[in-house]
Amino acid sequence: MYLLDLYNNILVRPSPPFSWAVELIAASLATPRGTDVRSTNPRYGVRILNPSHCTEHTAFWRTVLNLFGSTAAITTNYDLLIERSLRHRPMKRGFGTGCYYGGLLRPQILKGSALPFTVHEPRRCWVELSGSTPVYKLHGSLNWARGKDQLELYQDLRPAFRKGGEAAIVPPIPEKKVPSWFQSVWDEAETELADATFWIVCGYSLPNYDLAIRSMLRRTADAHEKHIFLPDPRSEEIFESYKSMAPDAEIHPCLVYPPVLSSCRR
């Protein structure tokens, strides 16, 4: 709520510009930790090329894709955890169907930094997102930056650090204030939600301040038959919120995802 008020510049007390919040959030989320430390420069320490080291994330996507096939990911997060779990292209060895950014023009070529053996051939370090699973990032991403005519996409997190932080991210904002460069992402994400029979909601408790997404979910929940899974330790607490938002949907609160999803597969 504070970020939204900061973004709208409506705080009564003296407050910093929203760009300062972007700089703090981006630097905090983009700084490599633990096994992600692959470079002495944090700008390049986390890359889409690096697979996720979180086995739970990989197991989740493996289960979902095996059960349901056609899948889309819709997220409010700024980080690259989904992309790194699904991978940037279909993998011949190991898990990964590959992904791309839903709502953005394709082909999606991600810029990168020249490695020692590619310094004279910089195009060799560019990466294309060529997978089959769309990822809709409703609030932007740490590897996106605003260009003159369109978004610039990177395989690393340099937009989070350069010039004090210029990553293309926004807080939860009303639909009427969604920036024009985000609109196609929101429009296509809404179509995906309306068409889907199964929603698997991870870590989203329908906060009251997130009016735009609540409105989108309410509109799409009634499109046709819906099964909404809530794999969350607090699933029983948020059950009523989802039931009031989608009264005709079948809500499945659960502590873990595989047993319930498997039993409800069609």
Q: Is the pLDDT of residue 262 over 60?
A: no
Report strand pairing: 227-231 vs 198-200: parallel
**Strands across the sheet with 167-169, in order?**
151-153, 140-146, 167-169
Q: Would you state the torsion angle of the CA atoms of residues 203, 143, 38, 164, taken in this order, to the nearest 10 degrees?
A: -110
C-alpha angle 15/18/24, rounded to 5°?
A: 100
28-86: per-residue pLDDT in tens? 888 777 666 555 666 666 788 888 888 888 888 998 998 887 899 999 999 999 999 99
What is the pLDDT, as a whole number, of residue 266?
37
Q: Residues 136-152: pLDDT tens digits? A: 999 999 999 987 767 89
Q: Residue 34 half-sphere exposure, CB side, CA atoms within 13 Å?
A: 4
List the chain domain ranges: 2-195
Taking the C-alpha atoms of residue 16 and residue 191, their distance in angstroms, rounded to an integer, is: 37
Q: What is the tens place of the pLDDT at every residue in 159-177? A: 888 877 788 998 888 877 8
Region 107-120 average pLDDT: 69
Range 247-260 average pLDDT:
75
* Global confidence as pTM: 0.87
